[in-house]
Amino acid sequence: MHSEIKALPLPPPPALLRQLFDAAVAAAQPALCLPAHLPPPPKGRTIIIGAGKASAAMARALEDHWAGPLEGLVVTRYGYEVPCQRVDIVQAAHPVPDAAGLAATQRILQTVQGLTTDDLVIALISGGGSSLLIAPSEGMTLADKQNVNKALLTSGATISEMNCVRRHLSAIKGGRLGAACYPAKLLTLLISDVPGDLPMDIASGPTVGDVTTCADALAIVQRYQIDLPVAARQLLEGGAGETVKPDDARLNKSSVRMITAPQIALQAAAQMAQAAGFTPYILGDSLEGEARDVAKVLGGMARQVVLHGQPFKTPCVLLSGGETTVTLKGQGRGGRNVEFLLALGVALAGTPGVYAIAGDTDGVDGLEEIAGAVLTPDTLERAWALGMNPRSFLDNNDAHTFFQTLGDSVITGPTLTNVNDFRAILLTG
């Protein structure tokens, strides 16, 4: 006689949302996605260079699957170190660069000097590399670069716009590192954290050609009224900050492979949601705009589904990626994902059956060691009971304090990868 097999009970919506987030992060782990993209060993030396929050984990995955000799150096964010045997791992600051990043960048540039046509350079590039690979253009100082980064982070510019400015104020970004590797063969392995997955925007494209110009960067500075140091403005106005272009002969032995990206992470979360009985809808892997504006749009969509059963049927989950922006006006702790989530809560106003999570897949939202937070239908009610005005926290750009007080923060620690932001809105029906 066969006993009846009972389905396991579903976890509560907040727990399921966290599982979706964890599935997205797991799908972007270098150990899973990097080995298939490795080339055969060269006749000469194999040099490993790189930068980003995932670069140390990428170096470890490469070491574990590389048969021949290799050497090199990568720089990652403090706390994201992964032990390697043959590749030196250096830690530096993010999102505002520091002296450790400057020293590591100088070492990387020295590492690729004097190579031959028989040599192979493998560049491991992931999100966060813009502040970790720091080499000020001639006339600029580290303090200048730090001030530019701070100004960009609070300007409201998109990540693509910020990286355009960074490329033109650097001695290593915008293809300059790639040109320095010539005449060796160069393979760049990328983990994308930017909307659109453009290689020149990932870590500001240190090894790939750049189609933008100093004029483009200057237009962005003027658009957002960014206060630049005198030396930086002169570089853009005079054209001395021009980058290496895609047709540069020094890049003719260069190739690029995207090993994972936001869409892959969203698909992993979608599979898990479907297994749990929720129809997944991926709304896009590259949503941009002010966090609170994106929240209003997705909140309106969620209300339409709940109240009218259109355009989707419940139970379902609305998934999206990309990178929103926050124009800081208050004195709070910032965080684009938690700002999105708080604005979403205000827009939903306690709509029943709607739960959400928003977090950065690198485990750090803004300047906080917090990935994001979870929103429930009673979030605003619980906040009011504690004497907290949600709109006041939103106006002060202080969503981290809001969710932390409620005990709803999502804390992962270093995830060792970075495929941008992850958002899931769960509609239980």
| 3-class secondary structure per residue, 364-422 | CECCECCCEEEECCCHHHHHHHCCCCHHHHHHCCCHHHHHHHHCCEECCCCCCCCCCEE
Q: Is residue 3 part of a domain?
A: no
The per-residue pLDDT for range 330-351, each reduced to its tens digit, is 999 989 999 999 999 999 999 9
Rounded to the nearest 5°, which phi and psi values hold at 213?
-125, 170
Q: Is residue 2 part of a domain?
A: no
The per-residue pLDDT for range 168-220, each reduced to its tens digit, is 999 999 999 999 999 999 999 999 999 899 999 999 999 999 999 999 999 99
Strands 185-191 and 71-77 turn out to be unpaired
Q: Is residue 214 part of a domain?
A: yes
Task: Look at residue 357 and tell me whether its pLDDT is greater than 90.
Answer: yes
Q: Is residue 322 part of a domain?
A: yes
The domain boundary residue, chosen from 239, 260, 281: 260
Kind and range of the H or E element at 146? helix 142-153
Q: Is residue 29 part of a domain?
A: no
* Structural domain for 163, as ranges: 43-260
Task: Look at residue 3 and tell me whether its pLDDT is greater than 60.
Answer: no
Task: Look at residue 8 and tell me whether its pLDDT is greater than 80.
Answer: no
User: What is the model's pLDDT at position 7?
Assistant: 47
Rounded to the nearest 5°, which phi and psi values hold at 54?
-100, 0
Q: Is residue 411 part of a domain?
A: yes
The per-residue pLDDT for range 98-139, each reduced to its tens digit, is 999 999 999 999 999 999 999 999 999 999 999 999 999 999
Percentage above 70 pLDDT, the chain: 98
Cis before residue 95, ω within 30 degrees of 0?
yes
The domain boundary residue, chosen from 260, 281, 303: 260
User: What is the model's pLDDT at position 366?
Assistant: 87
Q: What is the CATH number of the domain that holds 49?
A: 3.40.50.10180
Mean pLDDT, the chain, integer:
95
Task: Look at residue 5 and tell me whether its pLDDT is greater than 50.
Answer: no
The per-residue pLDDT for range 371-404, each reduced to its tens digit, is 999 999 999 999 999 999 999 999 999 999 999 9
Q: Do 250 and 293 share a structural domain?
A: no
The per-residue pLDDT for range 16-27, each reduced to its tens digit, is 999 999 999 999
Residue 2 — very low, low, confident or very high, per pLDDT cuts 50/70/90?
very low
371: which 2 tokens? 């990935």
User: What is the model's pLDDT at position 328?
Assistant: 85
Q: What is the CATH number of the domain that holds 399?
A: 3.40.1480.10
Task: Look at residue 248 and tell me whether its pLDDT is greater than 70.
Answer: yes
Q: Do 240 and 92 share a structural domain?
A: yes
Q: Do 329 and 269 share a structural domain?
A: yes
pTM value surpassing 0.85: yes
